[in-house]
Amino acid sequence: MSDDSSDVPIADIRRKLKRLKRNGCNLLVTGNVREEASHRTTRKLLGAPEVTRTRLLALTDHDREDAPVLLPGDVRATDERVRFLQYDSGTRTASVATPAASARSATDAVASETDSSAFDTDSSSVARDLDDFQSALCNAITTAKISESGFDPAELRISVFTLSYLVNRHDPTAVDRFVSAVGDHVRGVGGMAHYHLPVADDSKPVRRLSSLFDARIELREKHGRPEQRWHFPDDDVRTVWVGL
């Protein structure tokens, strides 16, 4: 099979995508592309703006101020069902907050760390390491489910931007544990999460992590235009390249 071909009928691909949405899924986004292509992919995977959803952005090397390039269409960072989880193992910390909480000062955010599971308009949680980041994200998923009295399939959309930040700073076993734990929570609520790992699709980190995901979205740029193709490792098939 050539690099630009696929022997998978389009009807089969559509069935696979519907099944992923119905059952909950975790998607690994790969490829050496410009950041704008990654941003565009995130906007698409967070869902059409006219559809009411809960959207959770888990940011490692971006800030809440970057929300306009990550959120789709008319969705705003201040929308009631938009949530943020921010992490940095260095000078910054991880905090999960609604827009109202994110407007508070860094001092106020640190002061609220006594309640690490809080996820409402009056508090934010602070984590100091990857395990705490994992716990905060899993708690955010659970709390959002309770707040919304459950989700329809793929109603909860999550973006981890980026996974490469964690891969470059933590032991592989710890990253595997993070992906596995978060992935279980996502599937448990029928959500749809994607994790950006902007490296070559045949790179060692991708090969090591792929088995933890339900599918992989490979990005490339051809003649300056971003394209994508999907890989379904369980069936060892992939789609043709299509424009984003």
Domains and CATH numbers, the chain: 10-243 (3.40.50)
DSSP assignment string, 58-96? EESSS-GGGHHHHS-TT--TTSTTEEEEE--SSSS-EEE
Report yes or no: 25 and 193 within 8 Å, Cβ to Cβ. Answer: yes
Question: Residue 160: which of 128, 188, 186 has the closest Cα?
Answer: 186
Please give the model's pTM, rounded to 2 decimal places.
0.84
Residue 55 Cα distances to 99, 118, 130, 185, angstroms: 12, 17, 21, 15
- What does the pLDDT profile of the chain (244 residues) look like in tens digits? 455 555 677 788 888 999 999 999 999 999 999 999 999 999 999 999 999 999 999 999 888 889 999 999 999 999 999 999 988 655 444 555 554 444 433 333 332 333 333 334 332 344 568 998 999 999 999 999 999 999 999 999 999 999 999 999 999 999 999 999 999 999 999 999 999 999 999 999 999 999 999 999 999 999 989 999 999 988 788 899 999 8
Question: Residue 162: which of 31, 17, 72, 53 has the closest Cα?
Answer: 31
Instruction: Write out the E strands in 80-232.
Output: 82-86, 94-97, 125-127, 156-161, 192-197, 215-222, 225-232
